[in-house]
Amino acid sequence: MLTRRIALGILFAATLAGCAATPPAVKQGYLFVGGRYIDVKEGQLMAGQMYVEYRIPANVTKPYPIVMIHGAAQTGTNFTGTPDGRKGWADYFVEQGYAVYVVDQPARGRSADAGNVGQLNRFTANILEQRFTATARFKLWPQAALHTQFPGEGPDVGLRGNPVFDQFYASQVQLLRPNSVSEQLMRDAGAALLDKIGPAIILTHSQSGPFGWVIADARPKLVKGIIAAEPSGPPFREAVFGSAAARSWGVTETPMTYSPAVSDPAQISRVEEAAADGPNLVKCMLQAEPARKLINLENLPVLVFAAEASYHAVYDHCTAKYLRQAGVKADYVRLEDVGIKGNGHMVMIEKNSLDIAAMIAGWLNKNIR
């Protein structure tokens, strides 16, 4: 076992060294957007600022940059590499001719927390094993048994002690509760970023899914498309790990612009579907007709996709259906339906992550003009 660990350590070092260079770039670096000074006992601190890392290719061939926003307990490292040292989505899309901006959410990673915005806590290793990395062992939802794509070697893939899992867990940071706080912080910081860089495509994952909706609501003329990789959902309530009320504004915890106008989320009438769309899927909670429209997202190209073995496979169709009912041009893709099989929730770091990136790139080429 020790010999295998040493060998894998050497392989990691060699692989990481090989992936260290980014594609030829006119410019790469970082900036901060947003933030304001707040008073504390000791003086003043800045709160709400957001770290943004950018990579701009030598030959920009795409009309809009991509802004990549990570999910709960993660940072922008989700997109800049993988825990086993392979190319990340940021470099992939730079190679496709996109300028790429990768953020650390406010109060996360290099976007320092001012200490008074919400409750910070961390995911345990147990939760990551059960929900993200070794789901086939635990089978907490029907599709979990299909999970084959988390990287690593040996019988302990996806478990503590495996070098790839340990690299992944080392990257975990605090998450901020409640999500309504994160939504407001990201609405402001995301708007500030778009005000600075101009029109862009927003790519979200998991907890950050609602951030795409609120940023587009705040800057409808500057968001040219949204890629929602397994966005937080489903509408109005939790699923799989509970059934508590959630996302009272449909797909967000915080206000969105509807027509007819909504001043209180209780005004959004809702109804549960009579039957689920298929086996091992939840019944969706949608608006009662006539449905109010998300007028700032109308005609905005949106891709929602779910992985075959993820817990999101149970309910992400509901998010897409809600968006379409509210007037949004939302496409929904199950990865297995386009030949991409075995993925869990962490799609951007799994073994076939570049196959998924290629699927996204194909959709962008067809839908973003």
Q: Which residues are catalytic?
A: 206
How many Cα atoms occupy the beta-carbon half-sphere of 313 within 13 Å?
A: 29
For the chain, first and last CA: distance in Å? Answer: 53
Strand 270-272 versus strand 285-287 pairing type = antiparallel
Assigned token pair, 278: 């298929």
Other Cβ atoms within 10 Å of 274 Cβ, number: 6
Beta bridge partners of 87: none
Q: Is the peptide bond before 260 cis (omega within 30 degrees of 0)?
A: yes
Integer-rounded Cα Rg, in Å, for the chain is 20
Assigned token pair, 304: 């929602």
| CA–CA–CA angle 248, 224, 198 (5° rounding) | 110
